[in-house]
Copies of this chain bind each other. A is one copy, B any other.
Amino acid sequence: MASQAPAATRPPDTEQRIFDAALTVFARKGRDGARLQEIADHAGINRALLHYYFRTKEQLYEAVFEHGCRQFMAGLSQSLRAEEGVEDCLRAFVYGYIDYIYEHQDMARLMLNECLCGGGVLERHLAAATEAREEVPGLLLEDRLRAAIGAGEIREIDLRHTLLTIVSACLFPFVALPTVRLFHSRAVEDFDRFLQERKAHIVDLLLAGLRPTEGVRRGKLA
């Protein structure tokens, strides 16, 4: 296996280049739509070399997904460092999440692409990751929020849905970028600034939405 003995003669970063190229192409064209030739071109290598490293297209996809998925989840968990207060914790989550997705947009798109065509592979890998007790990014925040509810720092609310809402708000703008661009002209002019605004907005809205209710009925404005 080439991955086990990478530096036999020269140090070939070829495998990594293939990984990156395959990730990009698979993320855009999907498992079936991606062409090996396009991946090879993107990696600047011969098509035969793809078969040298990964015997078949299937194995290449599996490897890219497996490796990428594991690395993605691990890195994401790491980037979401635990903070002291709920507020800082939530802020760190949102900021860390968006920053991380920004650096790994292709992986996010690949996972979503898997979702679109059934999600069999994705489910398998995620299930394996959670079963292996690996850190699942959102669960730490959920635990922290649960504690905050107990302490009366935030109001009682369905945490599963809250977490899903947070992830949605952070992730969706990336995968739906072309649509977002139409209404958010700033997202096309200055994407970085748009993301900064987005982070602040999400945290702002969430903190207000989770603030303990002081005699105010839920689901009512005033």
Residues of chain A whose beta carbon lies under 8 Å from any beta carbon of chain B: 27-35, 86-87, 109, 111-120, 122-123, 126-127, 130, 138, 153-155, 157-158, 160-165, 167-169, 171-173, 175-184, 197-198, 200-213, 216, 218-222
Chain B residues positioned under 8 Å from A153 (CB to CB)? 221-222
Assess A177 versus B119: contact at CB under 8 Å? Given A138-B183, A221-B87.
yes
Inter-subunit contact A161/B197 (CB<8 Å): yes
Q: How many copies of the chain does the oligomer comprise?
A: 2
User: Which has the most chain B C-beta neighbours within 10 Å: A30, A168, A173?
Assistant: A168
Residue of B nearest to A139 (CB): B183
Chain B residues positioned under 8 Å from A181 (CB to CB)? 123
Inter-subunit contact A182/B222 (CB<8 Å): no
Q: Nearest 7 A-B pairs (CB), nearest first?
A: A119-B178, A209-B209, A33-B33, A32-B33, A168-B172, A161-B201, A208-B209
